A and B are shown apart, each in its own frame.
Chain A
Amino acid sequence: MPQGAASNLLFQGSDWNFETLSRTYDAIEAIAIDELGLDVYPNQLEIISSEQMLDAYSSVGMPLMYQHWSFGKRFVFEDHLYRKGRRGLAYELVINSNPCITYLMEENTMAMQALVTAHAAFGHNHFFKNNYLFRQWTDASAILDYMEFAKKYIAKCEERHGTAAVESILDSAHALMDQGVFRYRRPPRLSSEKERERTRERLEYEEQTFSDLWRTLPPTSENSDPKAVERDVSERKKALNLPEENLLYFLEKTSLILEPWQREILRIVRVIAQYFYPQRQTKVMNEGCATYVHYTIMNRLFDRGQITEGAMLEVLQSHTNVVFQPPFDDPRYPGINPYALGFAMMQEIERICVDPTSEDRDWFPEIAGTGNWRETLLDAWANHRDESFILQYLSPSLIRKFRLFLLTDEADDNYCEVASIHNERGYEAIRTALARSYDVGANQPDIQVMDVDLLGDRHLRLQHNVKNGVLLEEDGRDDTLRHVRHLWGYDVSIAGVDSETGETLYECTTADLSGDD
């Protein structure tokens, strides 16, 4: 190999060491910052083995996590798939924290390490730091401290109250995790360690000074006047801030039977659920952003002669695997691949900015032909979530490329109907439907706390606002309701109310459920 060509290369062969990692990182950083204009948290890259990767997987990707059997179940499940060869390990794992932690697997080749660095340490990192949802809802600098606190706190509870008692609270809290997030108002920021310490001290103080006598006060005078009753109800609701969509929050604050440490555990689960909520709303964008960034950077490195053709081939092969989208009738079809969709949409944006067709000019007058692809992308990454991103940027040419079509499915019919396909008339409908399918808030059952008579029988009433007639899966509903009862301590009922007609579709109460827990 001629000396001149070799000097430009960052690495040769597939072995890596810390020197090549560092040199490659610097080259990638230069492109990411100077050419793509990315803005990232400081990076911390950690080398781990594949077993450790499996461990990290099963604790929902957090480096610190409290102990719970469900993580063991997840581990057994992942491990099983991995050993059967049904699933490969992810090449990377990245944590939304400041500094941003990226795991690199030791088994990766140097080319893969470069790919992962570009993908995670710059793509994901930039997205975490700049996307409005993450900026607004998560606190990257506090999460690791908080997780450490949570882990210790729960371990301490296990010591004091026994593993079984803690486990049963966690089980119930996990069942309500999806209903444990604020969707519309911003949750209070994670308090700093000091503040938390103070809260804990306060809790302990309350625990010591708690007097059960106050709970046995006689009920207020009986009201027979229906108007007064109604007024009472509305006052009561106002006082409790009902209706409340965050079930975990409501139980944490209002449940009469929970002890302070149990409330704190609910809070921990809720905080974690909230922390992951933006990730669930931005899967396509987040993965698309990271994939787009690694693809662009690796190509730049190759153009500059900094990586060999062999390394580039390896990168491309793995890139192709990642963005592979099997058609719906393929046995491998797992749903729409967020990597594929996100990456393709971002490439489309670049193309529309630089080299638009007349169709693009019609659909995207603001960006077509401006040449400002970099700014357009940075803006999209910062200011959208999946739903709005797709609604705004899914282009007709991409709908054709993916050959997307829209299927409607009514429960009563024994067939599905093709509503729209990738043609002139269908673009709009497909785009809207696809965007809606990424609206986490809309796809999750809308369940709210409606009413509770704290001075009466303390029956907790939940309401499920049924949209499009989609009910709840019954076994899961009943089991989950039992968990709510466990946390609430008194009977709980749920009513399914059609959000359009206001008609009650079903009702279910724990008093009728067999098998109390």
Chain B
Amino acid sequence: MPNFIDRRLNPKDKSLGNRQRFLKRAREELKRVIKERVKSGKIADVDAEHNVSMPARGVSEPSFQPDRHSGEKQYVLPGNREFAPGDRLPKKGSGRGAAGAGAGTGKSEDDFQFVLSREEVLDLFFEDLELPDMVKLNLKESVAFKRRRAGFTASGSPMNINVGRTMRNSFGRRIALRRPSRREVEELAEEIAKLEAAPGAQTKHKQHIEELRQTLDKLERRRRRIAYVDPVDIRFNRFEPQPLPNASAVMFCLMDVSASMGEREKDLAKRFFVLLHLFLKRRYERIDIVFIRHTDEAGEVDENTFFYSKQSGGTIVSTALEEMLRVIRERYPAHEWNIYAAQASDGENISGDSERCASLLHDELMRLCQYYAYVEIIDERETEIFGTTDNGTSLWRAYRTVDDEWPNFQMTRIAKPADIYPVFRKLFGKQQTVQLHK
């Protein structure tokens, strides 16, 4: 008699721990792959599932194995159809025979890929940014409001009186207090009139008429005392401001692509934009990204051109702001879109233009934007000099004035990938309230 044991309810995933160890082990390589993807892929693609090839280094399990390409070997193979002893088969390339022979005896491990989930990708991405805790982030969202009916209230402006509700209240009160109806009074008056008109009424019905008159009098008094509509009956429509779900956002990426913005600077900028995108993606159903790059003139471009084209020239930052303004006017009306902007630059600007940038922001853009972040990308050496002081490029000084006046404007400096996340937190975490300027 066998011993049957039902193990189906035993815990599954016994190998979970082993898998986690494996992932941890493979992490360095995975990180490198993700980094590479972030560099070369589209911003919106970072937030997606990825196939990652099985990383070889760090997770290989070496052992002493015979070299397949040395020495003299013999294979026994099945399925001979045409060969006779002495036939020669070419080894590599054309002949299947030898290839099959190799596969038959060697230990071959297939190349395989495994899929990293969205979360795993983000984890790896953020790990590089030294992200301590994504969950703690909380973007102060500002929304448009719409007044919505929300029940009734006993006080309010006469414009909002709800007649139906008021009349219902008064009717109920009248019934409760037994206010004589008009019909009741009229019937009584009619009866009196009829009796008075009757011949010999004075004598015959004098007593009765007198009683009726008294009743009528009582009714009229009662009607006067109990108002038809009393202030307590009055109800006003109540309105509540309701947040208007605005499901779309547009993100403007502005970047200086003049000669001073090299590979490193663009990579840092890209990381910043990626982070911003991931962040907004959590908030909004739909995000547009507009890429504007500028030298001494600005233009809207696609992502590829934005990060990889080698255009160069002088620097006039204000052209980018003007271009942004143009795009907003044409396509992104501020009442329908949440507008975010991030500007990355090394702060170099033609003289006199920085003031123009500041005034563009003061007069126009800051009213339209939910939020505007300026990131100055500097040398690591410069961090030590500029990091704590307010000195810096003309653009930095000019933006300083904007920063003072507009709470939805933030500016900061970054020098290396590890700076990005803390800066991001600073930019998007700390502000108290963002006023809506409409």
Selected interface stretch from B12-20, B193-201, B277-285: B12-20
- A48-B10, A333-B100, A470-B67 given. 16 additional CB < 8 A pairs? A42-B3, A45-B4, A52-B12, A59-B14, A68-B21, A73-B59, A171-B61, A327-B78, A327-B81, A328-B79, A329-B96, A409-B74, A415-B90, A433-B76, A464-B64, A480-B64
B80 part of interface (Cβ distance < 8 Å): yes
Selected interface stretch from A129-137, A176-184, A262-270, A275-283: A176-184
Given contacts A175-B62, A470-B73, contact A55 B15 (CB under 8 A): yes
Q: List CB contacts (< 8 Å) of B54-105 with chain A.
A: 54, 59-81, 83-92, 96-98, 100-101, 103-105
Residues of B within 8 A of A325 (CB): 78-79
Q: List CB contacts (< 8 Å) of A453-484 with chain B.
A: 464, 466-477, 479-480, 483
Q: Are the CB atoms of B112 and A81 closer together than 8 Å?
A: yes
CA distance A93 to B84 in the complex (A): 42
Q: Are the CB atoms of B64 and A472 closer together than 8 Å?
A: yes
Selected interface stretch from A213-221, A224-232, A365-373, A400-408: A400-408
Give which listed residue, A49, A121, A177, A436, contacts B63 with CB less than 8 A: A177
Give which listed residue, B65, B72, B90, B103, contacts A468 with CB less than 8 A: B72
Taken residue by residue from 15 to 30, chain B's Cβ proximity to chain A (1 for < 8 Å, 0 otherwise) reads as: 1011111111100000
Q: Are the CB atoms of A407 and B63 closer together than 8 Å?
A: no
Interface size class on chain B is 35 or more
Given contacts A69-B25, A76-B114, A473-B68, contact A329 B85 (CB under 8 A): no
Q: Are the CB atoms of A52 and B7 closer together than 8 Å?
A: yes
Q: Are the CB atoms of B66 and A470 closer together than 8 Å?
A: yes
B135 part of interface (Cβ distance < 8 Å): no
CA distance A67 to B84 in the complex (A): 52
Residues of A within 8 A of B91 (CB): 409, 413-416
CA distance A72 to B54 in the complex (A): 13
Give which listed residue, B5, B84, B104, contacts A328 with CB less than 8 A: B104
Q: Are the CB atoms of A418 and B83 closer together than 8 Å?
A: yes
Q: Give 4 closest A-B pairs by Cβ, nearest first.
A: A327-B79, A72-B22, A469-B71, A470-B71
B2 part of interface (Cβ distance < 8 Å): yes
Give which listed residue, B12, B61, B100, B104, contacts A49 with CB less than 8 A: B12
Q: Are the CB atoms of A475 and B2 closer together than 8 Å?
A: no
Give which listed residue, B10, B70, B85, B103, contacts A418 with CB less than 8 A: B85
Chain A minimum-CB-distance residue to B11? A52
Give which listed residue, B4, B5, B96, contacts A22 with CB less than 8 A: B4
Residues of B within 8 A of A417 (CB): 86-89
8 contacts between A and B (CB under 8 A): A81-B112, A121-B2, A336-B77, A407-B89, A414-B91, A416-B75, A437-B75, A445-B65
Q: List CB contacts (< 8 Å) of A414-439 with chain B.
A: 414-422, 425-426, 430, 433-434, 436-437
Chain B minimum-CB-distance residue to A102? B2
Q: Are the CB atoms of A415 and B18 closer together than 8 Å?
A: no
Q: Are the CB atoms of A477 and B7 closer together than 8 Å?
A: no
Q: List CB contacts (< 8 Å) of B308-342 with chain A.
A: none
A299 part of interface (Cβ distance < 8 Å): no
Residues of A contacting B: mostly: mixed
CA distance A430 to B12 in the complex (A): 47
Residues of B within 8 A of A80 (CB): 112-114
Interface size class on chain A is 35 or more
Q: Are the CB atoms of B73 and A408 closer together than 8 Å?
A: yes
Residues of B within 8 A of A408 (CB): 72-74
Given contacts A47-B8, A327-B79, A407-B101, contact A69 B22 (CB under 8 A): yes
Residues of A within 8 A of B25 (CB): 69
Q: Are the CB atoms of A468 and B73 closer together than 8 Å?
A: yes
B6 part of interface (Cβ distance < 8 Å): yes
CA distance A171 to B22 in the complex (A): 12
Residues of A within 8 A of B87 (CB): 417-418
Q: Are the CB atoms of B76 and A48 closer together than 8 Å?
A: no
Give which listed residue, A71, A177, A468, contacts B18 with CB less than 8 A: A71
A1 part of interface (Cβ distance < 8 Å): no
Q: Are the CB atoms of A55 and B86 closer together than 8 Å?
A: no
Q: Are the CB atoms of A474 and B67 closer together than 8 Å?
A: yes
Q: List CB contacts (< 8 Å) of B267-310 with chain A.
A: none
Q: Are the CB atoms of A99 and B64 closer together than 8 Å?
A: no
A75 part of interface (Cβ distance < 8 Å): yes
Q: Are the CB atoms of A18 and B4 closer together than 8 Å?
A: yes
Residues of A within 8 A of B59 (CB): 69, 73
CB distance from B302 to the nearest CB of A (A): 35
Give which listed residue, A21, A58, A410, contacts B15 with CB less than 8 A: A58
Chain B minimum-CB-distance residue to A475? B62
CB distance from A228 to the nearest CB of B (A): 35
CA distance A42 to B90 in the complex (A): 53
Q: Are the CB atoms of B63 and A69 closer together than 8 Å?
A: no
Give which listed residue, B23, B24, B80, B112, contacts A421 with CB less than 8 A: B80
CB distance from A357 to the nearest CB of B (A): 22
Q: Are the CB atoms of A447 and B76 closer together than 8 Å?
A: no
Give which listed residue, A51, A434, A477, contacts B76 with CB less than 8 A: A434
Q: Are the CB atoms of B88 and A416 closer together than 8 Å?
A: yes
CA distance A287 to B425 in the complex (A): 62
Chain B minimum-CB-distance residue to A57? B15
Given contacts A178-B63, A433-B74, contact A328 B100 (CB under 8 A): yes
A44 part of interface (Cβ distance < 8 Å): yes
Residues of B within 8 A of A333 (CB): 79, 100, 103-104
Q: List CB contacts (< 8 Å) of B94-149 with chain A.
A: 96-98, 100-101, 103-105, 109-110, 112-114
Residues of A within 8 A of B92 (CB): 414
Give which listed residue, A48, A70, A425, A476, contacts B65 with CB less than 8 A: A476
Given contacts A407-B97, A418-B83, contact A47 B15 (CB under 8 A): no
Q: Are the CB atoms of A404 and B90 closer together than 8 Å?
A: no
A92 part of interface (Cβ distance < 8 Å): no
CA distance A103 to B60 in the complex (A): 30
Q: Are the CB atoms of B83 and A52 closer together than 8 Å?
A: no
Given contacts A75-B19, A327-B79, contact A411 B70 (CB under 8 A): yes
Give which listed residue, A103, A407, A413, contacts B77 with CB less than 8 A: A407
Residues of B within 8 A of A103 (CB): 7
A234 part of interface (Cβ distance < 8 Å): no
Q: Are the CB atoms of B8 and A404 closer together than 8 Å?
A: no
Q: List CB contacts (< 8 Å) of A310-362 with chain B.
A: 325-330, 333-336
Residues of B within 8 A of A255 (CB): none
Q: Are the CB atoms of A178 and B4 closer together than 8 Å?
A: no
Residues of B within 8 A of A179 (CB): 64
A149 part of interface (Cβ distance < 8 Å): no
Q: List CB contacts (< 8 Å) of A7-49 with chain B.
A: 18, 21-22, 25-26, 29, 42-49
Taken residue by residue from 116 to 133, chain A's Cβ proximity to chain B (1 for < 8 Å, 0 otherwise) reads as: 000001000000000000
Q: Are the CB atoms of B67 and A409 closer together than 8 Å?
A: no
Q: Are the CB atoms of B112 and A472 closer together than 8 Å?
A: no
CA distance A57 to B21 in the complex (A): 17
Given contacts A72-B23, A175-B62, A418-B89, contact A44 B71 (CB under 8 A): no
CB distance from A471 to the nearest CB of B (A): 4
Chain A minimum-CB-distance residue to B66? A470
Q: Are the CB atoms of A476 and B64 closer together than 8 Å?
A: yes
Residues of A within 8 A of B1 (CB): 22, 26
CA distance A72 to B73 in the complex (A): 34
Chain B minimum-CB-distance residue to A410? B72
A106 part of interface (Cβ distance < 8 Å): yes
Taken residue by residue from 471 to 507, chain A's Cβ proximity to chain B (1 for < 8 Å, 0 otherwise) reads as: 1111111011001000000000000000000000000
Q: Which of A69, A179, A330 has the most CB of B within 10 A?
A: A69
Taken residue by residue from 357 to 395, chain A's Cβ proximity to chain B (1 for < 8 Å, 0 otherwise) reads as: 000000000000000000000000000000000000000
Residues of A within 8 A of B4 (CB): 18, 21-22, 45-47
Residues of B within 8 A of A413 (CB): 91
CA distance A469 to B69 in the complex (A): 10
Residues of A within 8 A of B15 (CB): 54-55, 58-59, 71-72, 75
CA distance A330 to B81 in the complex (A): 12
A294 part of interface (Cβ distance < 8 Å): no
Residues of A within 8 A of B85 (CB): 418-421, 425-426
